[in-house]
Every structure is written in C-alpha cells, then in structure tokens.
Amino acid sequence: MPVEVIPFAEKLVARKIVAMGAQVKLREYAYGNPFVTDEGHHILDCHFGGIDDPEKIGSELRFMPGIVEHGLFLNMASVVVVGKADGVVELTRK
C-alpha cells in the first residue's frame, strides 16, 4: 500500500509503520533516487500482508504526523473493477 510522506518525516513515519506490523520500502527510481510526487513528497511502499481491520489501520495512518495520504480508499467507491490475466472482475459493495 502506498503512503505519501513529507520527506523530512520519512524515517520516523517508516519506523512507526514498521511498528504497526508492515514491511516498508522507500519507492525509488531505477537509479536509486527517491520517487518524488508532484507536491515534492516521497512514497513509502508498505506491505501489511492481509489487513484484518482496514478502518483501524487507515485511522492510525490518517492521524500520523508526516503522512500526506495513504492508499486505503475506505468507503469511497461502490464498484471496483479488477483486471486479471484471464479477464475483468467487477466487485460491487453490498
């Protein structure tokens, strides 16, 4: 899951997300420099494995100083379209 962070808070935020149980890696270009967003922030790629309580994780990330945004788009869509090798799957919220 991508987490957009303010560069000067990157290391602190990464440590806090690791403490939440994720593996964290700074997103970099092929030549080793950090990927920089349009707003001048960095992206941490965070691997939580299965997320049992996405609302809890989303809330913790939303209120963590140094985080601009995260990739848990909770309660924002009623339909998700997933492209797979064997076709497209449409998931609809009940």
| CATH code for the part of the protein at 2-92 | 3.30.70.260
The pTM is what?
0.82
Q: In this structure, how many other beta carbons lie within 10 angstroms of the beta carbon of residue 43?
A: 21
Q: Specify whether the CB–CB gap between 35 and 27 falls below 8 A.
A: yes
**Tens of pLDDT, residues 36-66:** 999 999 999 999 998 899 999 999 999 999 9
What is the rounded radius of gyration, in angstroms, for the C-alpha atoms of the chain?
Answer: 15
What is the pLDDT confidence band of residue 29, given thresholds at 50, 70 and 90?
very high
List the domain boundaries for the chain: 2-92
What CA–CA distance (Å, rounded) separates 56 from 62? 10
φ/ψ bin of 52: left (φ > 0), alpha (ψ from -120 to 50), beta (otherwise): alpha
